[in-house]
Chains A and B, each alone.
Chain A
């Protein structure tokens, strides 16, 4: 099992450009999450999906949209990137039982 995978690993955007970060898991987990990690701020929840077909806002949703394409895939879209969105983005997934979350390798995004 690959666990949680993310693409791309690195991305540089110009202000105003759009892009989609992809996340997939092969653990048959129901719930998936998108976090951003900034120095000294820990991991902050952007959006989550408790199950296929549902999505909800987290702590810092402004400037982002998500799509739960199917049970395996959960994408994060930046419609008009801003320098404040420069960060490392992690996707995570969780089974319906324990609250343990498993993280993907991350995407390092720089917005110029």
Chain B
């Protein structure tokens, strides 16, 4: 079945620096790749997503890139702020509309 690997598991950056989180997936049929942000004690919330007919998508300080040939996609956060500190999850869709999630990256932005 589908497998999604996410790296790194923890990431610490200085405020203002960029952060990059990478994911790989195994099912070549996957065509939808969302990213969720989860603050401590809260629910996962969608921050950006990308579909397989697009190579890159941006939303203000957040961007996602997709390389279908290599089966990997990445989240890029520029000009990081303390409020970006959270756990970030990538996911890839599977048959029946299911999502397979990566293990999560704990991002810490130090002021």
When A40-B9, A42-B102, A43-B89 are in contact, do A103 and B44 touch as well, CB less than 8 Å? yes
The answer to whether A99 touches B89, judged by C-beta atoms less than 8 angstroms apart, is no
Is the CB of B97 closer than 8 A to any CB of chain A?
yes
The answer to whether B96 touches A100, judged by C-beta atoms less than 8 angstroms apart, is no
Is the CB of B81 closer than 8 A to any CB of chain A?
no
The answer to whether B43 touches A42, judged by C-beta atoms less than 8 angstroms apart, is no
CA distance A42 to B45 in the complex (A): 14
The answer to whether B97 touches A94, judged by C-beta atoms less than 8 angstroms apart, is yes
The answer to whether A43 touches B43, judged by C-beta atoms less than 8 angstroms apart, is no
The answer to whether A40 touches B45, judged by C-beta atoms less than 8 angstroms apart, is no
Which A residues are in CB contact (< 8 Å) with B32?
Answer: 98-99
CA distance A50 to B94 in the complex (A): 13
- Give the residue name and chain of the A residue nearest to B99 (CB): A101
Chain A interface size range: 20 to 34
The answer to whether A42 touches B96, judged by C-beta atoms less than 8 angstroms apart, is no
The 8 Å CB contact of B49, one of A56, A100, A103, is A100
The 8 Å CB contact of B99, one of A40, A41, A99, is A99
CA distance A42 to B53 in the complex (A): 27
**Which A72-112 residues have a C-beta within 8 angstroms of B?**
90, 94, 98-106
The answer to whether B96 touches A43, judged by C-beta atoms less than 8 angstroms apart, is no
The answer to whether A50 touches B97, judged by C-beta atoms less than 8 angstroms apart, is yes
The answer to whether B104 touches A42, judged by C-beta atoms less than 8 angstroms apart, is yes
When A40-B9, A41-B103, A42-B103 are in contact, do A90 and B97 touch as well, CB less than 8 Å? no
Is the CB of B18 closer than 8 A to any CB of chain A?
no
Is the CB of A45 closer than 8 A to any CB of chain B?
yes
- Give the residue name and chain of the A residue nearest to B90 (CB): A42
22 A-B pairs, CB-CB below 8 angstroms? A31-B97, A40-B103, A40-B104, A41-B103, A42-B6, A42-B89, A42-B101, A43-B89, A45-B98, A58-B98, A94-B97, A99-B34, A99-B93, A99-B99, A100-B46, A100-B49, A101-B46, A103-B44, A104-B43, A105-B42, A105-B43, A106-B43
